Amino acid sequence: MNSTVVRIRRATKEDASRISELAQAVALKFIVDEFHGRGRAFYLKQLAPEAIAKRLADDDFRFLVAEHGDALVGVAAMQGHWHLYHLFVAKGYQRGGVARQLWKILREEALGAGPLRSFKANVPRYAIGAYTRLGFTPDGEFRDERGVRFQPMTCPAKRLAAGAKT
């Protein structure tokens, strides 16, 4: 765990390759080993620079990146105002509050942008504990779609009291 202070900023199209590199590294280390044959290739293709760049250009997505010095150590993306689409944190920064900081900003932006509805995420087995600590709970059975295995999770849309941890 690394509790170093990181700088969080809005991602730009110039970040696509770095975001892809981080996301694929985390996926290869912790996520895709349990996927069925074609699921691994499908999932990694969704994290390719071209796919990331396409989402960065899409007004329906909001991306944030976390940096420590020149290193990209975290990325999060919200689709619409309700689907936490990406949340990746570099290995040495996991459990250091980076995911929580990224999620808090995206959540607050979403809560201020439209009607309240529950947040959703499709969470790989490795990250279920992290998402649980962010306030998500399982929403149905573990699923396998296109060989990609995930737990649908939901988080109530509510504003937190000042000083709350989530």
* Span 18-34, pLDDT tens digits: 999 999 999 999 999 99
In a domain, 77, yes or no: yes
In a domain, 49, yes or no: yes
Q: At 75, which CATH number?
A: 3.40.630.30
Q: Is 47 helix (H, G, I), strand (E, B) or coil?
A: coil
- Predicted local distance difference test score (pLDDT) of residue 112: 87
Residue 120 near residue 152 (C-beta atoms within 8 A): yes
Separation between Cα atoms, residue 65 and residue 141, nearest integer Å: 31
- Predicted local distance difference test score (pLDDT) of residue 42: 96
In a domain, 130, yes or no: no
- Predicted local distance difference test score (pLDDT) of residue 3: 59
Q: What is the pTM of this model?
A: 0.91
- Predicted local distance difference test score (pLDDT) of residue 160: 47
In a domain, 133, yes or no: no
In a domain, 89, yes or no: yes
In a domain, 151, yes or no: no
31-54 pLDDT, tens digit per residue, is 999 998 899 999 999 999 999 999
In a domain, 70, yes or no: yes
Asked if residue 55 has pLDDT above 50, the reply is yes
In a domain, 122, yes or no: no
77-106 pLDDT, tens digit per residue, is 999 989 999 999 999 999 999 999 999 999
* Domain limits for position 30: 7-115
> How many structural domains does the chain have?
1
